[in-house]
Amino acid sequence: MTLQEELILIKNRHKLSYSWIAEQLHTYPPKIQYAFEVAKDIPFSLYAQIMDLFERYNLIDDSKEKYDNLISQTFLTNQIIAESIKKLNYLVNEFSADNKFTSDERRNANEKFTQFKNEINKTLDKLIKLTEIK
């Protein structure tokens, strides 16, 4: 089963509309409909967002779907961590280029590092939630 087929299955099982999904994700229904029906491959980040939405509303019924959701969230977490590491390396190289670390650079670095930490923690929190026993 493809990612799109899985989403369509859950959507149809619970009689959800593209409008409702789009509203919950703060986007447009045509974007959601395109991802479900037309796109050759749904972007993985959008798939993970939709599965997270389905999980929040307890629309994922069986352990196979929960397992798939855990796998997709793990891939998304890996992607976020990898992107953060690339950004971190770029920033450190940028700040160290002149062998000085000014107060503005420290302030900018602190903001960026805090942002990276928050992004990583948010996705790890989702993994923790997915593995909670209710």
Q: pLDDT tens digits for 70-116?
A: 888 888 889 889 999 999 899 888 888 888 888 898 898 899 999 99
Q: How many CB atoms lie within 10 A of CB 16?
A: 18
Specify whether 66 is located in the same domain as 123.
Answer: yes
Q: Do 133 and 79 lie in a common domain?
A: yes
Same domain, 74 and 128: yes
Residue 19: give the domain boundaries. 1-44
Q: Are residues 6 and 69 in the same domain?
A: no
In a domain, residue 66? The reply is: yes
66 and 108 assigned to the same domain: yes
**Range with the poorest average pLDDT among 11-25, 33-47, 51-65, 114-128:** 51-65
Report how far Cα 94 is from the mean position of its chain's Cα atoms: 28
pTM of the entire predicted model: 0.56
What's the structural domain count of the chain?
2
Q: What is the DSSP letter of 15?
A: T
- The reply to whether 74 and 116 lie within a common domain is yes
Please report, as a single letter, which amino acid is at residue 81.
I
Whether residue 77 sits in one domain with residue 14: no
CB 82 within 8 A of CB 110: no
2 burial type by CB count under 10 A (0-12 exposed, 13-18 middle, 19+ buried): exposed
In a domain, 33, yes or no: yes
Judge if 69 and 38 occupy the same domain: no
- Given this model, what pLDDT does residue 114 score? 94
- What tokens appear for 121 in the block? 């923690």
